[in-house]
Homo-oligomer: A and B are copies of this chain.
């Protein structure tokens, strides 16, 4: 397999973007990444885009073709493929783009992720998100994701003594980081009191334990390592590990609902390929769709022992300046969660950190970073490890 590097990144503002269409969002993020990379349209061998449910959110399937068209390069007939794995769609698109270069098929690939979620009214966003759960065994009976993750949280509290306050500290930390991110949906800090006393959604999760509904897009340019210097003098960030795993679609069928086995499996694959251990990772963007999800993630990825995730957050192990800063971007919680874009936006943040361009959010001596993107309640997980060259 050939070495692959990230040579450009781009983001739109995340938030309630009432005046931008899905087409405009993809074009904006893609253009920024292309300009950042130094490539031109004629250099692009392929495009991949992650989108969970543009078909339901905006009545547009065929999102790969939409992106190729919106790029303005339709006359070049560039292959463009949409990849879907619920909220892990962006991470999976990145993986396919990576593989297509590693295979030798392509030299330069643009990977995007997008979701336009605001345009549906009322509870339709939650209903569409529930199509990432098991329709026959969960969604049809009214089980939506706040309820599913609440069950994980209750079990985690019972098994390991995790507290609602420890969960709340995830939100406090991520909002503190997000406040430093100009692209974040919520650039406001929150206090532990606010999180713990927020309107209940599904016990023990309150409103501030949940990531929001968001419009947004992200894009990165990937290049064969030996061609990268043709395009850019900027620091190169190498993809050194890629792991993906699956699990039962329905939560009730799992071995242990407090462990996402797909995360453990994907992490192991990525660590093995990268020849790294959890202790080698300097920062991580993990999938905090709910506060409990971040607690499980840092355990399942091996940053802390099983059951110690809540305490680790409370002890500031994962705070900016701590042993392993997690979600320096603000995470899904504060930066926002346009589901198809999230996995690509995680790569954008880690790339900026490894380039030393993360401004107020910069992690000192960041050489190796990890991204962790989850679909549904853990039926899909994809992990990438990146290293500054």
Contact = CB atoms under 8 A, between A and B. Distances in A.
Given A62-B376, A85-B65, A79 B135 contact: no
Contact of A99 (B53, B99, B249, B265): B99
Nearest to A70: B249
Contacts of A102: 103-105
A107 to B, nearest CB: 13
A308 interface: no
Secondary structure dominating the interface of A: mixed
Determine the interface band of chain A, counting residues with CB < 8 A from chain B.
35 or more
Contact of A65 (B58, B61, B82, B375): B375
A80 interface: yes
A74 B134 CA distance: 14
A104 B77 CA distance: 27
Interface string A121-141: 000000010011111100110
A60 B244 contact: no
A59 interface: yes
B247 A77 contact: yes
A352 interface: no
19 contacts: A21-B136, A55-B128, A59-B135, A62-B132, A62-B375, A64-B85, A64-B380, A65-B246, A65-B249, A66-B249, A68-B246, A69-B250, A77-B262, A77-B265, A78-B246, A80-B246, A81-B244, A82-B83, A102-B105
Given A62-B249, A82-B85, A102-B104, 7 more contacts: A62-B86, A69-B247, A69-B250, A74-B247, A82-B83, A96-B96, A103-B103
